[in-house]
Structure 1
Amino acid sequence: MSETLAPSQELLLEWLQPVQDPEMLTSLVDLGLIYNIFLDGDAATVKMTLTTPACPSAGYLMQQVKNRLLEHPAVNKADVQLVFEPKWDPATMASDEVKDKLGIW
């Protein structure tokens, strides 16, 4: 009998890599907008933020994250929570590639 290992946090983030901010055309993962992601059994929980609290794409982005996770057989339920603490700071949270794109250095 073989035991299936749960996907790692790194793999879960990799699954979310294609989800992009529609205005910046950049991955939410690379922007540093995914604060926490974990799997408990087959239920994924994501804590994410937005580039601005008034982001008009909030609902769309949250649904894209949920849909992306539910495409994978290891995930049968996905809870996407929007948080604003800590405040998003691209200088400390975004990837080097995004910082370069935004002119942050």
Structure 2
Amino acid sequence: MAEDTVNTEKLGDDIVRVIKTIYDPEIPVDIYELGLIYDVFANENNDVRIIMTLTSPNCPVAESLPQEVKEKVKSIDMVNDVEVELTFDPPWSQDIMSEEAKLELGML
């Protein structure tokens, strides 16, 4: 396995680990398990782009949650820059939550 692949996998693991420390303030589940993170991209310069959503466009943390994601991911040593794109297409629904999140919320 090439070193670049190992570094990319480690960076991806580190990003997911950091994102799993961020919780929706109204739901006791991290935003990764809630399905709020749609995609994560990293280029060869370790610039990261994250596409995420919120549980609702009127979410009270619409300003602060994406900023928290950006700051925490940017704190990873390997990361140079972070861009967080907020989207509501497709809209979030309970169907995209992980089984772990559904179990935590008593939905399974």
Cα distance in 1 for residues equivalent to 2:18 and 2:94: 21
Report if aligned partners of 1:13, 1:37 keep a CA contact under 8 Å in 2: no
Equivalent position of 1:35 in the other structure: 38
TM-score (norm 2): 0.83
In structure 1, give the amino acid aligned to 2:59.
C
What amino acid does structure 1 have at the position aligned with 2:78?
A: A
Runs of 4+ residues over 6 Å off in structure 1: none
Cα distance in structure 2, aligned partners of 1:11 and 1:73: 10
Aligned-residue offset at 1:58 = 1.1
- The answer for the alignment partner of 2:65 in structure 1 is 61
**Which residue does 1:21 correspond to in 2?**
24
Partner of 1:97: 100
Q: Which runs of 5+ in 1 are unaligned?
A: none
Once the two structures are TM-superposed, the CA of residue 42 in structure 1 deviates from its matched residue by 1.9
Q: Which moved more, 1:3-12 or 1:46-55?
A: 3-12
Using the size of structure 1 for normalisation, the TM-score is: 0.85
Unaligned runs of 5+ in 2: none
Alignment partner for residue 53 of structure 2, among 28, 49, 54? 49
Between the two proteins, the alignment pairs up a number of residues equal to 102
CA RMSD of aligned residues (A): 1.7
CA offset digits 1:66-101 (Å, max 9, x no partner): 01111111112100000011111112x111122134
Whether the 8 Å CA contact 1:44–1:77 is kept in 2: the answer is yes
